[in-house]
Amino acid sequence: MFDVHAMRRQFPILAREVHGRPLVYLDNAATTQKPRAVIDAERHYYEFQNANIHRGVHALSQEATDAFEGARDKVRNFLKAPQREEIIFTRGATEAINLVAHSWGRANLKSGDEILISEMEHHANIVPWQLLCEATGAVLKVIPIDERGALVPGAFESLLGPRTRLVGITQVSNALGTVNPVADIIRKSHAAGALVLVDGAQAVAHLPVDVKALDCDFYVFSGHKLYGPTGIGVLYGKREHLEKMPPYQGGGDMIAQVTFKKTTYNELPYKFEAGTPHIAGAVGLGAAIDFVQSVGLETIAAHEDALLVQATRLASGFEGLQVIGTAPGKASILSFVMKGVHPHDIGTILDSEGVAIRTGHHCAMPVMDHYHLPATARASFALYNTPDEVDALFRALRRVEELFLK
Amino acid sequence: MSDLRDLYQEVIFDHNRHPRNFGPFPEANRHADGFNPLCGDRLTLHLRVEGGVIREARFEGAGCAISTASASLMTEALKGKTEAEAAVLFEGFHHMVMGEPVTVDLGKLSVLAGVSEFPARVKCASLAWHTLNAALKNESNPVSTE
């Protein structure tokens, strides 16, 4: 039986107050809080193991290397990737997408080729492709969304064509909560000869991922949205692609041999990991994965779904409040607007009540344009949120109403 | 945190609900667009400047209560001011929202003083004023608070 109060005790920050009120942290889609196990893992690394990796012959270097490579194995297992060489550590999902766009994209795309993304993408899965299109003359095409915030049925199939080289799609929308049918998209893309990159930044903390079963070519996520540290993320790529791709950045660790005439590159995954990586971050991410797996993603999803159902019910009884993003089966994100009150004002008033939500465009300006909104307010739930906190959110929204509309 | 009422004073609610000098202004001879990418607030400022004096100021756009009220109050304050006087007000306003000592009389604009206690909202209050700066310089690129 999942005990949310026992769970909360594992997160030190949840005990603090904000403006004299208990913290109600509902900005989990931006970043999640960190359990003691993750904080301790980083601390332990710095207190006992800190050294540079893959170099020294001394004991600490070996221990640090083992800790870092152990984290890679945890990621491989977490994503069900066939080989550890297919797991590249990056600074986050954003850098992982940029790596693919830069390395795979510039080596493979030519003028007239097409990249297909969706209207609900985060800027991180838009701008790297725009830069690539500018550099190569490729064309960016966009799968539209409907009023629910789901992909328009049939639109993907009609945009997918013989010139489509890559499809970049988010598994879960950060602004709307929509869960996309990525398995179907991957199958159809492959049939059309296109590769698929799945942006898993919002997905990994909510649903189990199996990159082998999905058969995606690339999968990216960030550690900090998975209860892990900031500054560490992952690119999974099929080995056959990664082997052929040129390095993204040059530097230490990614080389085999350097002379001024010619440099040969290291093998996978190190070819894509130039410079000293965020070793402590990787160790912390490994601890975060252990933590999430010990709870179980099915348990987490069930808990969050119950909170979303409760929040959606309270929202539907709140006059003047409109939920943005109503796709069936969506993840635990409640984006909304309130008639007569700008989201930014909602955010400030909620903050004064200790309730932390996100307000703004959520790095998804095209989604805002779609709904003709400058911004939305967004509450996003995680495994440590409680039904009482959902009630606190709506109590605070009543306060907004009182201040602004009465 | 300071009381919310320090930020959301009645005057601010009033100007948010009923912004003054709001709408298009074809006779304007200076324009500028302001944008706060953080929250999506956008406003367009129209000025009629004659002989160095701001005869008329109007604005259009959509924003939060703080940015709308600030723009509304600003247009009221600007009318009849010389460009040099407007620059002095800009500086005084900037000091006020940053919580720094203010040496000029800001009149009604001082209802926005509470913003200094809410660092995340300083840009909301300043957007109209940065846009004014651009309009007086007649800059064609939209100004951004970022």
Residues of B with Cβ-Cβ distance to A348 under 8 angstroms: 4, 7, 118, 120-121
Asked if A352 is an interface residue toward chain B (Cβ–Cβ < 8 A), one would say yes
Q: Which pair of tokens denotes residue B99?
A: 């919580």
Which tokens hold the place of B97?
């929202």
Q: What chain B residue is nearest to A343 in terms of C-alpha separation?
A: B64
Q: Compute and round to an integer the Cα radius of gyration of chain B.
A: 14
Check CB contact of B4 with chain A, cutoff 8 Å.
Answer: yes
Q: Is B39 on the interface with A (CB under 8 A)?
A: yes
Q: Do B121 and A352 touch (CB under 8 A)?
A: no
Domain spans of chain A, in order of start: 4-30+296-405, 39-294
Between strands A358-360 and A355-356, the pairing is unpaired
Residue A359 backbone phi and psi in degrees, to 5: -130, 145
* Separation CA A73–CA A83 (nearest Å): 9
Catalytic one among A306, A363, A365, A373? A363
Considering the segment(s) A39-294 as one domain, its CATH architecture is: 3-Layer(aba) Sandwich (3.40)
- As a dihedral over the C-alpha atoms of residue A38, residue A43, residue A48, residue A51, rounded to 10 degrees, the angle is 90
Which residues 50-109 of B have a C-beta within 8 angstroms of A?
62-66, 68
Q: What is the Cα–Cα distance from A284 to A263, expressed in whole angstroms?
A: 33
Could you tell me which of A81, A78, A49 has the C-alpha nearest to residue A65? A49
Model confidence band, residue B1 (pLDDT cutoffs 50, 70, 90): very low
Which chain B residue's Cα is nearest to A403?
B8
* A194 touches B: beta carbon within 8 Å: no
> Cα–Cα distance between A249 and A265 in angstroms, integer?
11
CATH of domain B4-141: 3.90.1010.10
DSSP string, A204-259: TTTS---HHHHT-SEEEEEGGGGTS-TT-EEEEE-HHHHHHSPPSS-STTSEEEE-
Interface check A341 vs B, CB under 8 A: yes
| Cα–Cα dist A206/A292, whole Å | 10
On whether any CB of chain B is under 8 Å from the CB of A359, the answer is: yes
Q: What is the CATH number of domain A4-30+296-405?
A: 3.90.1150.10
d(CA A353, CA A355): 6
pLDDT in tens, A41-95: 999 999 999 999 998 889 999 999 999 999 999 999 999 999 999 999 999 999 9
DSSP 8-state secondary structure symbol assigned to residue B37: T
Name, in order, each residue with C-beta under 8 angstroms of A129's C-beta and a sequence gap of 6 or more.
A101, A105, A115, A117, A140, A168
List strands edge to edge, sheet with B143-144: B53-62, B41-50, B30-36, B143-144
**One pLDDT digit (tens) per residue for chain A, 406 residues:** 899 999 999 999 999 999 999 999 999 999 999 999 999 999 999 999 999 999 888 999 999 999 999 999 999 999 999 999 999 999 999 999 999 999 999 999 999 999 999 999 999 999 999 999 999 999 999 999 999 999 999 999 999 999 999 999 999 999 999 999 999 999 999 999 999 999 999 999 999 999 999 999 999 999 999 999 999 999 999 999 999 999 999 998 888 889 999 989 999 999 999 999 999 999 999 999 999 999 999 999 999 999 999 999 999 999 999 999 999 999 999 999 999 999 999 999 999 999 999 999 989 999 999 999 989 999 999 999 999 999 999 999 999 999 988 7
Assembly ipTM? 0.89
Distance (Å) from the C-alpha of residue A44 to the closest C-alpha of chain B? Answer: 35
Q: How far is B3 from chain A (nearest CA, A)?
A: 8
Q: How many CB atoms lie within 10 A of CB B123?
A: 22
CA dihedral A342, A344, A347, A349 (to 10 degrees): -70
CB contact under 8 A, B64 and A368: no
Domain segments of chain B: what residues?
A: 4-141
Say whether A345 and B39 touch across the interface (CB within 8 A).
Answer: no
Whether B122 and B131 have beta carbons less than 8 Å apart is answered as no
